[in-house]
Structures are given as structure tokens and as C-alpha cells.
Chain A
Amino acid sequence: SQTIHQWPATLVQPVGSPLSLECTVEGTSNPNLYWYRQAAGRGLQLLFYSVGIGQISSEVPQNLSASRPQDRQFILSSKKLLLSDSGFYLCAWSGPGGGRNQPQHFGDGTRLSIL
């Protein structure tokens, strides 16, 4: 069966520090991968998605970037964190090929607090 791992679960970082959040998927090949941010426990904002290694699409211009160095690894990064980067970051995967009837499956998220 497929599983998705995100770490760390919680992170407290000072303003201006770098960031690296990692997400890995097991049990599937060539998944579509997604990074979301959820603010104030409500709406989801799609940040990045990837349909393959090295292929990243950005939905919202901001202080963050994403990379996909391996088929089942998705990394969210920042060179200098801002206070506004605080939030709950969720990684998700769906089946390959952009199958529109396929749901996305989520990791347990990273709660990021910027001080």
C-alpha cells in the first residue's frame, strides 16, 4: 500500500532563517506531488505541484520554492523565512498521469511557526 511521510511534524524557526521540509511517498511510482499551506486551520492554498522529476509548477509567487530531486521526494524550501510563512504545510500525492478521478492523499503536515 502507498504511504506518505512528512517531517518534521513541528518546527519553530526565527525570521530570516532557511527552511527545508521534506516529503516522501512509498508504494507508487511517478506520482503527482503537491505542497499546500493551510492558514488558521481552514482553507487550503496550493503552493506547488509536480508531475515528474525536476518539473515544478508554482501557483503563488512568494518566498518559497520547491524541488523534486527524486521520483518520490518533494522538498519545500526557503532561503529566508518571513513571519507570514507561518502555517500548516501539507504534502499530498495522487496517481500518475493526471487521472482526474484520482483523489489526493495527504501527509500529516508540518506546523511551522516563525518567531
Chain B
Amino acid sequence: AQSVAQPEDQVNVAEGNPLTVKCTYSVSGNPYLFWYVQYPNRGLQFLLKYITGDNLVKGSYGFEAEFNKSQTSFHLKKPSALVSDSALYFCAVRDDSNYQLIWGAGTKLIIKP
């Protein structure tokens, strides 16, 4: 069965420091991986995706994610955090057999000035 885990309920980072939001997945076929961000009382915004190719994927707002097949992980990263990055982040996955997304529980990212 497909699943996604975001092991951290909340991540606290000082402004200017690098940030990482973790995601691990389990699928039976080739994974298609996605990251989304949600600001309060708004819908989810698509940040980036991994389909195939280069393991380091670059996305919106300076975010990037690294696909690691052996560790079945797709961690979201940013070299220098901004206070405005504070939001709820979701990881999602689908595989070859299913076009529906399986969602992680979300990680609240708090960037402190």
C-alpha cells in the first residue's frame, strides 16, 4: 500500500538558517513526489515535483527537494529561511498504478526572526 510519512509535526528554524522538512514514502512502483505549501486560511500551493531524472529538484520560492531512492525520502530544503516561509508543508506521492495523491499529515514550519 502507498503511504507518506512526515515525521515532524513542527520544525522551528531561525531566520537565515537552512531548513529541512522531512518526507518518506512507500509505493510499489515508480514514485511521483510532490511538495505543497499552505498559508493560513488558504488553499495548497504547488512547490515542486520529482518525476524522474536529477535527484535534486528546484521549485518555487527558493525551495528544493532531494530524492533519495535507497532511503525512500524526498526532503524539502532551503538554504536560508525567511520568516515568510512559516506555513504548513505537505508531501504527497503517487505511483504508476494510481493517479490519486497520497498525502502526508503536514509539517508546521516556524521561522523565528
Contact surface of A with B, Cβ cutoff 8 Å? 6, 32, 41-44, 46, 49, 88, 90, 92, 94, 98-101, 103-109, 111
Contacts and interface: CB of A to CB of B under 8 A. Distances in A.
Given A101-B32, A103-B34, A103-B46, 5 more contacts: A46-B100, A103-B36, A104-B101, A106-B36, A108-B41
B96 A43 contact: no
B106 A42 contact: yes
Contacts of A43: 103, 105-106
A107 B40 CA distance: 13
30 contacts: A41-B40, A41-B88, A42-B106, A43-B103, A43-B105, A43-B106, A44-B90, A46-B100, A49-B100, A90-B44, A92-B43, A98-B99, A100-B94, A100-B95, A100-B96, A100-B99, A101-B51, A103-B34, A103-B46, A104-B44, A104-B101, A106-B36, A106-B44, A106-B45, A107-B43, A108-B42, A109-B41, A109-B42, A109-B43, A111-B41
Contacts of A98: 99
Contacts of B22: none
